[in-house]
């Protein structure tokens, strides 16, 4: 059975309403309490191909993806690739760019109760943030949360692009994440964000971003084919193609990506996670260490 909530917290609702006009251009059918499914469709940022993502009620069962007859558990054991986005799959059936969807599930505390049917091989990028996914599911009450993981030993993931590790956590802090980034663009520079899981709704509107001088190289490599000028923030020598949603939007988006990748631990995490200039590769390596620690 599905339980439905009133609108989310006032602060989150204000963010949703502020960007509702942008969300209306997408094919989003949120759960309203009349039925057992909801869906979103739209192009992927890398493939440019339109996919449809439909949520079906499956009480008390772990949240997972379904592509055709293949079910894909949402854990690090099924990660296939982490270059520019997180791709998961079983054998040759894969789905890419899952991190924004997973971040919204983490914010909403949804660990069970859905099977997510994907028609396509990439999750729609929407406006580049997680707002659409939150908007679709925000009225659905979460089922009882699984027992969180509290790491008993130090876990550090250090790769060529970044570092993710554990810092001492206070007993009353279930999850805290601290993210630090640095880019030589005057509109970014050095940025940091820290917050508890209950603060992570402040990450939902932060959009994916990149740099104009890298766009041609990205497209030649067969990625970024779904970029339409409005679904990602692009920094160039004079500014950005879209107005920023706060000066700290870049670091908040990196924190959103981290939260989505941490969902692949398979359970909530009780720890203080610190990421410095970290890529999806570092996120997933860290999450895998925690999952199998």
Positions marked active-site: 280
Determine contact, residues 156/276, Cβ cutoff 8 Å.
Answer: no
* DSSP count for the chain of H helices, then E strands: 7, 16
CA 277/CA 162 separation, integer angstroms:
5
Token reading at 222:
């067969």
Structure tokens at 7: 């609108």
Give the Cα separation of 55 and 66 in Å (integer): 10
What six digits make up the tokens of 68?
A: 């055709």
Q: Confirm if 124 and 43 have CB atoms less than 8 A apart.
A: yes
DSSP letter, residue 200? G
Decide: residue 117, CB within 10 A, 0-12 exposed, 13-18 middle, 19+ buried.
Answer: middle
Q: With b meaning 16 or more CB within 10 Å and e meaning fewer, what string describes 238-266?
A: eebebebbeebbbbbbbbbbbbbbbbbbb
Taking a C-beta distance cutoff of 8 angstroms, is the pair 87, 158 a contact? no
Question: Which residues, at least 6 apart from 257, have a Cβ–Cβ distance to it below 8 Å?
Answer: 99, 100, 103, 280, 283
Length in residues, the chain: 293
């Amino acid at each position: 059975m599905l339980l439905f909530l009133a609108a989310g917290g006032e602060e989150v609702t204000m963010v949703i309403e502020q960007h509702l006009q942008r969300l209306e251009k997408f094919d989003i059918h949120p759960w309203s309490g009349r039925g057992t499914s909801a869906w979103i469709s739209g192009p992927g940022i890398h493939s440019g191909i339109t996919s449809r993502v439909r949520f079906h009620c499956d009480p008390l069962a772990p949240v997972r993806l379904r592509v055709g007859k293949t079910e894909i558990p949402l854990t690090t054991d099924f990660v296939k690739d982490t270059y520019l986005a997180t791709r998961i799959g079983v054998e040759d059936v894969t789905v890419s760019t899952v991190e924004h969807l997973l971040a919204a599930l983490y914010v909403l505390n949804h660990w069970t109760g859905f099977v997510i049917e994907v028609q396509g091989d990439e999750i729609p990028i929407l406006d580049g943030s997680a707002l659409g996914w939150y908007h679709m599911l925000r009225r659905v009450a979460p089922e009882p949360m699984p027992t969180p993981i509290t790491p008993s030993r130090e876990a550090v993931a250090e790769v060529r692009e970044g570092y993710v590790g554990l810092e001492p956590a206070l007993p009353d802090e279930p999850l805290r994440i601290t993210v630090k980034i640095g880019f030589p663009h005057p509109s970014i520079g050095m940025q940091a964000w820290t917050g508890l899981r209950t603060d992570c709704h402040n990450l939902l509107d932060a959009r994916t971003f990149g740099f104009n001088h890298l766009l041609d190289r990205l497209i030649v490599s067969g990625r970024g084919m779904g970029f339409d000028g409005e679904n990602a923030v692009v920094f160039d020598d004079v500014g950005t193609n879209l107005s920023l949603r706060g000066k700290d939007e870049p670091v908040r988006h990196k924190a959103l990506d981290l939260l989505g990748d941490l969902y692949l631990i398979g359970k909530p995490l009780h720890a203080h996670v610190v990421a410095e200039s970290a890529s999806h590769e570092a996120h997933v390596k860290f999450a895998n260490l925690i999952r199998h620690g």
